[in-house]
Amino acid sequence: MPQPHFIVVTYPAQGHINPTLQFAKHLIRLGVRVTYITSISASRRMTKVPTAEGLSFLPFSDGYDYGIKPGDDTDHYLSEFKRRGKDAISEYITSSENEGKPITCIVYSLCLHWAAEVARKHHIPSALLWIQPATVFDIYYFYFNGYESAIKAQADETNPKCSIKLPGLPPLFPRDLPSFVIASNVYQSALSLFQEQMDVLAEEPNAKILINTFDALEHEALNAIEKFKTVGIGPLVPSSFFNSKDALDNSLRVDLFQSDSKDYIQWLDSKPKSAVVYVSFGSIAALKKQQVEEIARALISSRRPFLWVMRNRKDRGEEEKEEDKLTCREELEQIGMVVPWCSQVEVLSHPSLGCFVTHCGWNSTLESLVAGVPMVAFPQWTDQGTSAKLIEDVWGTGVRVSTNEEGMVERDEIVRCLDVVMGDDEKGMEVKKNVEKWKGLAREAAMEGGSMDMNLKAFVDDVSQGYCK
């Protein structure tokens, strides 16, 4: 049988690139040749372009080679990304065919359902790589398949204690639902992308849905939809979390943001075991000035050493204004360290880490689980409220902050949550026990012969033998 040749196509954002590169790494290990396709804007921002035997990196121009800027028309950008992306993939399929290296399968990540249309046009199997929780996939599926009115009624319900029960999922309150669903009138264009994705999958006679989760973590959610077979092929995290010296892993690790230095590692080295609070809200979320101040005051009140990733506004194409600066910066830095970016793998793996104050992005959530770090769940939007629900109520690996009537998380609430996960009372000990449990299960899933390994092999065999048509 000829060597399988997969195209992996991804959206040019940090949270999409990291798991899809990890996925490509595992494909290469299984003997698959991978062509990784994303836009030039992503490759320009990469600290290093990924290189590995068995991997070809193919950036294309989406018309925004220096990235989308504040004020740009998002709908136009997505339209151009789709149009030019479809052309780039089609041209590559044709040239590969002419060179005697035909494409076996196209795997595409979130928001790129149009890649399946390209695959169908060329009579090539395709698969969706879902980079959010299986629970979130299920919520979107049920929303577009019979539960829209029930979910909307809940969203309009003034009582936040009113819950909805969807098949195979725990009871969900309004704050547990993806923001695109709960505020569908605000996020109509985003919601339509998910509807188009579900429509594309519905047209596939044997839809392949690969999810960055693992069987033990979301067993019920992976089996909640009768129409689709969803397969857990995670956790798609760097091998560094498993104390593995993995040359392939190092060559495929990518950052779209720059860190000025590695001084924070030396600083972490100087701190006691499980003492440091790590605060990071990922690559997209932009907190309001008042919320940043509340976090800062909470950290000062808590008196625990902390490492806080506070991204520069210039990373978002914005100017740094005097009024945006923290009023307590000097006092803050007497207790902890503020950096514009860092290697999250290194930080979460460090023995001095005591907890992670996180926006609950799915990559961060999985990395925290694998590293065995308790979480203070501080969700902002999209799928993060659902992840926070899972963290607190289903896995018990952390606690979730509560907001006031204005949607702000006050300093006393942040301190309360820190005290719970960093403390030694009954609740704190229960969280630490659960963290160790899930750390072990995540590592079992990622081992040779684990659920990730078995499910990925089955997928590659299935596609390579032509069953997915």
Report, as residue numbers or ranges, the catalytic residues. 16
Burial group, residue 338, by CB count within 10 angstroms (0-12, 13-18, 19+): middle
Per DSSP (E only), the strands in 112-157 are 126-130
Show the 3-state SS of 15-51.
HHHHHHHHHHHHHHHCCCEEEEEEEHHHHHHCCCCCC
Give the C-alpha distances (Å, rounded to integers) separating 337 from 73, 88, 192, 459. Answer: 37, 44, 41, 44
Three-state SS at 214:
coil
Three-state SS at 77:
helix
Residues 326, 376: Cα–Cα separation, whole Å: 22
Please tell me what DSSP assigns to residue 172.
Answer: B
Q: How is residue 306 written in tokens? A: 């902390």
Place of tokens 């506004």: 313
Q: How is residue 430 written in tokens? A: 């229960």
Residues 167, 251: Cα–Cα separation, whole Å: 41
Per DSSP (E only), the strands in 110-194 are 126-130
Give the C-alpha distances (Å, rounded to integers) separating 180 from 69, 111, 154, 161. Answer: 22, 13, 14, 20
CB 123 within 8 A of CB 116: no
